[in-house]
Amino acid sequence: MHIQTAKAASNGADSWDLSRYAADFPILAQQVRGKPLVYLDNAATTQKPAAVIRTVSEFYEQHNSNVHRGVHLLSQRATQLYEDSREKVRAFLNAASTKEIVFTRGTTEAINLVASAWGRETLKPGDEVLISWMEHHSNIVPWQMVCQQTGATLKVIPINDAGELDLKAFESLLSTRTKMLAITAVSNALGTVNPLPTLIEKAHGVGALVLVDGAQLIPHAAVDVQALDCDFLAFSSHKLYGPTGVGVLYGKEAGLHAMAPYQGGGDMIRTVSFERTTYAALPNKFEAGTPNIAGAIGLGAAIDYVSGIGMNAIAQHEAAILEYGTAQLLAVPGLRMIGTAKRKAGVLSFVLEGVHPHDIGTIVDMHGVAIRTGHHCAQPVMDRFRIPATARASLALYSSRADIDALVRALSKVKEVFG
Ligand code: 7TS
C-alpha cells in the first residue's frame, strides 16, 4: 500500500497535478445554482469519466445478455466481458486468482457476506470480533448482528483526539479469543490512514482473520492484497469512478472455499434436487442470481482508466491537495478540523464555531460547492468528538487547488450570514 505523505508529494513541481483530468468527467463541466460545479463529495461517490459511461452504454447497445448461461453469441460476449472485468480487478489488487474476486453490490454487501457466511458458521460464545471506533456503520452493524446471533462479543479499538487508533489498546484487546479483526483502511469521517501491515501481522499472530474495509483506500492508493496479506478486502465501484450497485469482495481462496454460500439461487449451484444441492466452484458460489453485469463491466473500465493515470500518481496528487486544503481551511477563523491524524487520505472534515454543519453545507451549495454534512454513517466517531455532525470535503483525482479556494470563498459567505 502506498499512501504518500503530503510532505513527500509537495516536493516536486506541478508534475503531480492531475486536475486536468477533470475534462474527462462530463458532469463536472456543468453549472449548478448559476455557479461552476465544485464537487468535493467524493468519499460519498465519485463522478464517472466518459470512458466508463461509454463502456456501460455500449454494453447495453451492443452486447446486453445474461451471463454464464446462453450458448448464443450475445451471452458469450456478455460472459466474456464480465469475466474480463473480474480479471481486471484481480490484476488491480494483485490477487492470486480470479477465484478470489467475488462481485457484490458494494462494500456493504461484501462485509455482510463475510459476517454472515463466515461468522454464523464459525463464531461461538467466548469468541471476539474486533472493530475500531472509526468504522463506517457498514463495518459495525453486520458484526453486531452476527455477534447477537452467535453469542460472540464485539470489541472496539478506541481512537485518540487526532482520530488515530490507540495501538496500545489494540494490542491489549487482541487475544486468542479474537477470531476476526474487521478494520477500515481509511476512515471516511476523519481521513485517518490505519497502519494495516502492523494490524494484520499482530492479528494473524493470535490466529485471527482480518477483513479490510477498503472503501476509502482502493480509490486513493495502489494496493497489493498478497503483500498486505489480508484475508478479506471489500470495496465499492462507485467510489472508484465506476458505476453504482457493484463492488468486490476479495478473499483468500482457501478462506472463501471453506465458507458456506451467502445466498442461494441461480448461478451458485452445480446440481439441485429437492433432497440436496451442490454448489458451484469459486467465485460463482457467492454470486447467486443475475449479477450487475453492466456495472461489473463498467468497474473494469474504471480500473483501466485509473490504471492509465497510475494509482501512485493519484495518491501523490491527492496528498498535495490535502496538504493545501488543510492549510487553507485552518486559516478560516473559527474552523476546527476533525481528524488530524499524521497519516491522512482524501478527507477534510471540520466544524465551524457557532454554525451547524447542515447550514454550512446548504450555504456553500448556493455557491456551487458540493460537500457532505452529517455523521457520515460513523455515529460513534461523532460521539467520540462530542459533535452531532461535521462538514466534509473529500477529494478525488480531479480535485484542484481551485476547488479548495472555491470552498474557502464559500465558507467566508457562511461567516457573513452567521456573523
Ligand atoms: N466503508 C467505508 C469506509 C465507507 O466510507 C463507506 C461509504 C462504506 C463502507 C459503504 O460503502 P457502500 O458503497 O457499500 O455504501 N461511505 C460513504 C460516505 O462517506 N458518504 O457516503 C457514503
Q: Are residues 134 and 283 in the same domain?
A: yes
Strand order in the sheet with 128-132: 101-104, 247-251, 232-236, 209-213, 178-184, 128-132, 153-157
DSSP state of 43: T
Q: Are residues 191 and 300 in the same domain?
A: yes
Q: Give me the count of residues in the chain.
A: 419
Q: 223 in a domain, yes or no? A: yes
Distance from Cα 237 to the centre of ligand 1, integer Å: 11
**For the CA of 236, the nearest atom of ligand 1:** 13
Q: Domain range for residue 25?
A: 6-48+310-418
Q: Are residues 226 and 296 in the same domain?
A: yes
Q: Are residues 143 and 275 in the same domain?
A: yes
Interval 6-35 mean pLDDT: 79
Q: Are residues 188 and 67 in the same domain?
A: yes
DSSP string, 171-186: HHH-STTEEEEEEESB
Distance from Cα 376 to the centre of ligand 1, integer Å: 8
**For the CA of 394, the nearest atom of ligand 1:** 19
Distance from Cα 282 to the centre of ligand 1, integer Å: 26
For residue range 140-196, what is the model confidence (pLDDT) as tens digits?
999 999 999 999 999 999 999 999 999 999 999 999 999 999 999 999 999 999 999
Please identify every residue annotated as catalytic: 377
Interval 389-414 mean pLDDT: 97
Q: Are residues 128 and 208 in the same domain?
A: yes
> Is the minimum distance from the CB of 108 to ligand 1 under 6 angstroms?
yes
Q: Are residues 317 and 282 in the same domain?
A: no
Indicate the pLDDT class of residue 70, thresholds 50, 70 and 90: confident
> Is the minimum distance from the CB of 44 to ligand 1 under 6 angstroms?
yes
Q: Are residues 192 and 260 in the same domain?
A: yes
Q: Are residues 184 and 86 in the same domain?
A: yes
Instruction: Give, in degrees to the nearest 5, the angle at Cα 205 between 233 and 201.
Output: 45
Q: Is the Cβ–Cβ distance between 159 and 188 less than 8 Å?
A: no
299, containing H or E segment: helix 293-309
**Cell numbers at 353, concatenated:** 464555531
Cα(370)–Cα(230) distance, integer angstroms: 34
Q: Are residues 268 and 181 in the same domain?
A: yes
Q: 1 in a domain, yes or no? A: no
Cα(144)–Cα(153) distance, integer angstroms: 8
For residue 321, how far is the Cα from the chain centroid? 19
**Cell numbers at 395, concatenated:** 477529494
Nearest Cα residue to 184 out of 176, 173, 195: 195
For residue range 81-130, what is the model confidence (pLDDT) as tens digits?
999 999 999 999 999 999 999 999 999 999 999 999 999 999 999 999 99
**For the CA of 238, the nearest atom of ligand 1:** 13
Q: Are residues 300 and 157 in the same domain?
A: yes
User: Of the candidates 307, 329, 358, which is a domain's last residue?
Assistant: 307
For residue range 280-337, what is the model confidence (pLDDT) as tens digits?
999 999 999 999 999 999 999 999 999 999 999 999 999 999 999 999 999 999 999 9
- Cell 454494453 sits on residue: 59
For residue 12, pLDDT beyond 90: no
For residue 257, pLDDT beyond 60: yes
Q: 347 in a domain, yes or no? A: yes
Q: 60 in a domain, yes or no? A: yes
Q: Are residues 322 and 229 in the same domain?
A: no
Q: 247 in a domain, yes or no? A: yes
- Residue from 40, 112, 190, 239 to probe ligand 1 pocket by mutation (most atoms less than 8 Å from CB): 239
User: Of the candidates 307, 342, 377, which is a domain's last residue?
Assistant: 307
Domain CATH for 366: 3.90.1150.10
Q: What is the pTM assigned to this prediction?
A: 0.96
User: Of the candidates 281, 307, 333, which is a domain's last residue?
Assistant: 307
Domain count, the chain: 2
Averaged confidence pLDDT in the chain = 95
pLDDT at res. 10: 44
Q: 371 in a domain, yes or no? A: yes
> Is the minimum distance from the CB of 215 to ligand 1 under 6 angstroms?
yes
